[in-house]
Amino acid sequence: MKGLASILGALVAQFAVLSLLAIGGANTVVPEIHRNAVDVHHWMSDRDFANLFAIAQAAPGPNALITTLVGFKAAGIAGALVATIAFCLPAGLLVFVVIGVWDRIQQSPWRAAVQAGLGPVTVGLVAASAFLLTRAADRGIGLAAITLATAAISYFTRLNPLWALGAAAVLGASGLVH
Amino acid sequence: MIATASPTVPTPAPTLIQLYLGFAQISMSAFGGALPWARRVLVEDRGWLDSDDFTDTLALCQFLPGPNIINLSIAVGSRFRGPLGALCAFLGLMGAPVVLAIGLGALYGRYGQLEALRGMFAALGAAAAGLVITTAAKMAVPIVGRQPIVGIPVIAGGFIMAGLLRWPLPLVLAIIAPLSVGLAWRLRR
């Protein structure tokens, strides 16, 4: 059994690097997190990782919570905090610096062009992730109906979407939808 | 309820506490992904950003490495209130979810069985996907309306490459971002 300090050190080294590699969000480095946690460090089994990933997706909050859960499994509460901070801090500092520069060049014509160009790229990527999430989630007609109904309600009404999520959770827990 | 404040009346910059609470509201609503809730809270509920500001800021956060919504909290917090604002928004976003995740992790470590919750997770995932569809549609509408010549082909291109073909994101960005920015530059007024 390795000492706590060496596990925490491994968590920091791993997640601080992944923070700066995660272009497009936490889910892009999940395969690498999996490889490190299961194959390299043997902090957990494959099945553990899959279940922790499901918890991170379903629990409220950003998907980056997978780092919290991996840290927790590896080294308890200290591990959870260290892994989360190591994953958020390097990228966060970079954003902080870039947004400051970005806002200082507000009048520049090339900033306007970059904005006008990147906006649709971002929308395309969000649309792509909507498609991939829908395809992964909708393994049956009932689940597809939930997706469609939630999209329609949240697009066309001002109803808080938590109602749709709550109704879906109840339907799912009752075993009525497949 | 009225969707947003009238555009002629600027919303006052949120205080540190408001930043904390706003991002806590995002994270505690965000079952199955935070992006739809980020847009709903920041643009529709609180009016801190208009739809274009939201898309622009998210674009920047998406191009920089790191978790997108966490980057967004730091960008929005620092824009309104500097380093402390960034810290408050970040803590609002991550504080409660981290505590909750540790609790769920402890339960998992103790019981190790999630079968009872599997049906619920599946249905929540399906509903969460529906929210992302709405978010994409709401982000697309103003862009397509204002700049269809850039907007339509670029949105379609990103969707096809990242969604249908499932190319890795750095490749998609390397192909489509220079084309899109170049096109926007040529069409600028």
Average pLDDT over residues A91-117: 89
Name the burial class of residue A41, with classes exposed (0-12), middle (13-18) and buried (19+) by CB atoms within 10 angstroms of its CB.
Answer: middle
pLDDT category of residue B7 using cuts at 50, 70 and 90: very low
pLDDT in the model for residue A153: 94
The alpha-carbon gap from A139 to the nearest alpha carbon of chain B, in Å, equals 9
pLDDT in the model for residue A174: 84
Domain holding A10, by residue range, is 1-104
DSSP 8-state assignment for residue B10: P
Q: How many domains does chain A have?
A: 1
pLDDT by residue (tens digit) across B128-151?
A: 889 989 999 999 999 999 889 999
A88–B133 C-beta distance less than 8 A: no
Angle between helices B115-146 and A46-58 (to 10 degrees): 50
* pLDDT over 70 percentage in chain B: 90
pLDDT category of residue A2 using cuts at 50, 70 and 90: low
Measured between beta carbons, which residues in chain B are less than 8 angstroms from residue A28?
168-169
Measured between beta carbons, which residues in chain B are less than 8 angstroms from residue A125?
62, 158, 162, 169, 172
A173–B120 C-beta distance less than 8 A: yes
Instruction: With respect to residue A13, please indicate whether it lies within any of the assigned structural domains.
Output: yes
How far is C-alpha A98 from the chain's CA centre? 22
Instruction: With respect to residue A82, please indicate whether it lies within any of the assigned structural domains.
Output: yes
Instruction: With respect to residue A157, please indicate whether it lies within any of the assigned structural domains.
Output: no
Instruction: With respect to residue A172, please indicate whether it lies within any of the assigned structural domains.
Output: no
Average pLDDT over residues A37-63: 84
pLDDT by residue (tens digit) across B69-94?
A: 999 999 999 999 999 999 999 999 99
The alpha-carbon gap from B11 to the nearest alpha carbon of chain A, in Å, equals 18
Mean pLDDT, all residues of chain B: 87
Q: Give the chain A residue whose CA is nearest to the CA of B144.
A: A120
- Over 90: is that where the pLDDT of A78 sits? yes
Long-range contacts of A7-12 (CB under 8 A, 24+ apart): A7/A41, A7/A43, A7/A74, A7/A75, A7/A79, A8/A75, A8/A78, A8/A79, A8/A82, A10/A41, A10/A74, A11/A70, A11/A71, A11/A74, A11/A75, A11/A79, A11/A82, A11/A83, A11/A86, A12/A82, A12/A83, A12/A86
Instruction: With respect to residue A114, please indicate whether it lies within any of the assigned structural domains.
Output: no
The alpha-carbon gap from B105 to the nearest alpha carbon of chain A, in Å, equals 6
B181–A113 C-beta distance less than 8 A: yes
ipTM of the prediction: 0.83
- Over 60: is that where the pLDDT of A113 sits? yes
Question: What are the residue ranges spanned by the domains of chain B?
Answer: 11-112, 136-189
